[in-house]
Structure formats: structure tokens, C-alpha cells
Amino acid sequence: MPNKPLTYRAAGVDLDAKAKAFERVKAIAKTASRPETLGKLGSFGGMFALGPYEEPILVSSIDGVGTKLKIAVAMDKHDSVGYDIVAHCANDIAAQGAEPLFFLDYIGMGRLKPDTVESLIEGVARGCREVGCALIGGETAEMPDLYADGDYDLAGCIVGVVERSQAVTGESIRPGCVVIGFPSAGLHTNGFSLARKALLEAAEMALDDPLPELQMSVGEALLVSHRSYARSCLALHREAGVLGFAHITGGGLMDNLSRILPEGCRAVLRRDAWEVPPIFECIQRAGSVADAEMFRVFNMGVGMTAVVEAEKLPAAMDLLEAAGEQPRLIGGIKAGEKGVDIV
């Protein structure tokens, strides 16, 4: 028998710290809302009133930030990865033509640190405001036997809506269509295990070492935010019509663009049609990574693609430029075995 009664805090879980963290994030979460949001933050479930639609299709996505979190922890900068998870999830559902409605986050920590939680939620709320969705709930769990002190995991779930008649599926893509590329800002949220292995281990670089090509440190370059394309994609689809979107995440251009192609369609992309950000060249050089592996793991400078009919290309490019994008015509769709060639 123990000499004195055990408490949850003695077991490693501080309920007072959790309550303190919750009070700090409530005000932040209120900055990311929509009129359809019902109830209050802290209820057992988040409530959201679906507006008037003729035939609404709910579209959802759930994801994490991966080992990019190790960079955030090492640099003690957490708001950027909070933003990343919203941008990533919103891009996923925008790729099917869905407007983001609401978002929920999950944070698992070894020891709950209110400052870190607040910083993460500030980033999440900023992402929600940017894509126009409400932050209606979340969960912060303190698990000292699962995560080391200082470590945490971050995941998020987004739900959006699209009219059935407006859903983007890729089924109508056909030979003769063209592929538009949206520039990425860097790694976004994919490939960090390889990037860390190449830069921090093979090249023995430190996070505060300068990268002259980027005029920033290694750590800063790795923490560059995942670009949010949701508003641009939805505006393009509303005005010009899009046959298919592909969010370029894990698997790179090869796997992700292939996912939306019908049988008998092959995408042929011109490698010289877009600029590859210097961070990828740094990783490839540091780890002696083969070209094929780079294109399989990373976005290589293209964070989103849109497939449109060739005659709609001028209007699509004008719309994207008006939305603040720098679109590139990166290839086209040919008849052939389903897949992607980069030439």
C-alpha cells in the first residue's frame, strides 16, 4: 500500500494545467467561427447547423503534421504547425470542390504545457479564419507514459460540403485537357523523415545553421508553412469549372495526380515548367537522393494541381492570378495507361 493517497497529478496528469490551457484557448477559438456554429466550446460535441442545400454531400478529411513536429519542438515554435494542419485538411476537401465548414483538433502531450497549447491553437484558429471554417471543438490529452516530456502529437479533422452536382471527382478528365500547377512554399507537411535524415544526420547540419540559398536557417526553412489553396481552388471551380484537383502530399506528383485520373488517361508533365524551391536541392545534395525518390516523396514545388479543359485555360489562369496565385501550365493529359510521366 502507498504511504499516502495517490493523485492524478502524482501519476503525471495535471487537471489544473488542462483547465488553465482550456481557458486560454477559448477566446482564441471564438475568433474562428461561422453563423452556423451552435452551442459552446467545451460541450461534449461540437454542433453545426447545415445550411440550405439542394443535395448536400459532406466531405471530410483527417490528418496529422508528421515528424515536422520534431522541428517545431526543437525550435519551440508551434503556431506554424497549428496552421499547417488546417491548411492541409482544407486543401484535401477543396480538391473535391467542398467548402470547409468546421474543424476539430487533437493534441496529445507527455506533459501539458499551456503555453504550447495556446500557441498551437493560435495557429489552428488562424488557419480556420483563412479558409473560412469554424473551430468548434478539440481535445488535449496528457499522457506521460506515451509521449516524452516536451513531445506532442497534433491531428485535425475537417468537414465541408458540396452540392452533389458540383462535386469534383476527376471522372470527366480526358485526353486533351491541361494540367495547372500551384507553386508550393517548400516541404509543406510531407517528407520530413527523409529531410531530417539528409540535412541533420547525413550532412550533420544544425537547425540554426544558415542556408544561403534561402537566406534563412535550416530550421526556418523546414518550418515554412503549408500553403492554403482552398479559397483559390473553390473560386476557380465556381467560375471556370475544374475536372479534377490533386493535393500534392505524401507520394508526390506521381501518386497524387494518378489518384484522380480515369483509366486511359496519362498525365505528361514538363519538369522545366515550374521552379523547384532551393530547399529540395539542399535535401537532395545533402543526402545524395535520387531524382526518382525526390519526386516520389516531395511535392518538388507543386502543392496543388488542377485539370481543366484546354479552352478554359486562359480564363483559369486569369482567375488564379486574380486570387493571388502564380499558376503554371505544367503539362497535359494524353491517351495511355493511367499514370504520370515527368519529362
pLDDT tens track for 118-129: 999 999 999 999
pLDDT tens track for 57-89: 999 999 999 999 999 999 999 999 999 999 999
Confidence of residue 51 (pLDDT cuts 50, 70, 90): confident
Confidence of residue 97 (pLDDT cuts 50, 70, 90): very high
More confident residue, 148 or 154: 154
User: The whole model's pTM is what?
Assistant: 0.94
In this structure, is the dihedral angle defined by the CA atoms of residues 201, 207, 209 and 213, taken in order, positive or negative?
A: positive
Q: What is the pLDDT of residue 22?
A: 81
Q: Which residue, among 311, 328, 325, has the nearest Cα to 232 in the 3D structure?
A: 325
Tell me what the pLDDT averaged over the chain comes to: 94
Q: What is the pLDDT of residue 2?
A: 56
Confidence of residue 5 (pLDDT cuts 50, 70, 90): confident
Q: What is the pLDDT of residue 39?
A: 83
Q: What is the pLDDT of residue 1?
A: 53
